């Protein structure tokens, strides 16, 4: 595994893909604010998480909360929202469709 973070969820592979999102560009995991644990998606958190989902508050967007499943780089929320769906370290593409769900993770 290229990263050293534990990523919880359903059928999580080495690049953080899961049973719900598993295309070649689904390669991030989100640290949930409520439990401070990484999951590939909100559905995995719903199935195997703390049961008390909370979004990241804006005043903490400087905190590391997104993991690149390819190289293991951790991005802050601000960094992730500004990265144009590409890892700033290894240039791996992230799924741009994830922005449709950002309200489930970030205030």
3-state SS, residue 39: strand
d(Cα 90, Cα 58) in Å, to the nearest integer?
Answer: 26
- pLDDT tens track for 31-79: 999 999 999 999 999 999 999 999 999 999 999 999 999 999 999 999 9
Asked whether the predicted pLDDT for residue 1 surpasses 60, the reply is no
- Cα–Cα–Cα angle for 31, 52, 60, nearest 5°? 45
The pTM assigned to this predicted structure is 0.95
pLDDT value at residue 4: 83
Average pLDDT of the residues in 16-23: 96
pLDDT value at residue 2: 60
3-state SS, residue 51: coil
Domain ranges (residues) in the chain? 28-104
Query: In the chain, pLDDT over 70 holds for what percent of residues?
Result: 97
Query: In the chain, pLDDT over 90 holds for what percent of residues?
Result: 93
Sheet arrangement for strand 74-76? 38-39, 28-31, 64-68, 74-76
φ and ψ of 39, to 5 deg: -140, 150
72 with 4: CB under 8 angstroms? Answer: yes
């Amino acid at each position: 595994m290229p990263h050293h973070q534990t990523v919880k969820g359903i059928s999580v592979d080495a690049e953080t893909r899961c049973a719900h999102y598993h295309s070649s560009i689904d390669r991030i995991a989100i640290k949930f604010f409520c439990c401070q644990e990484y999951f590939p998606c909100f559905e995995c958190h719903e199935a195997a998480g703390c049961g008390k989902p909370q979004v990241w508050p804006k005043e903490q967007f400087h905190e590391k909360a997104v993991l690149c499943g390819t190289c293991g780089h951790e991005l802050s929320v601000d960094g992730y929202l500004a990265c144009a769906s590409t890892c700033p370290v290894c240039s791996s593409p992230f799924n741009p469709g994830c922005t449709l769900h950002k309200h489930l993770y970030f205030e």
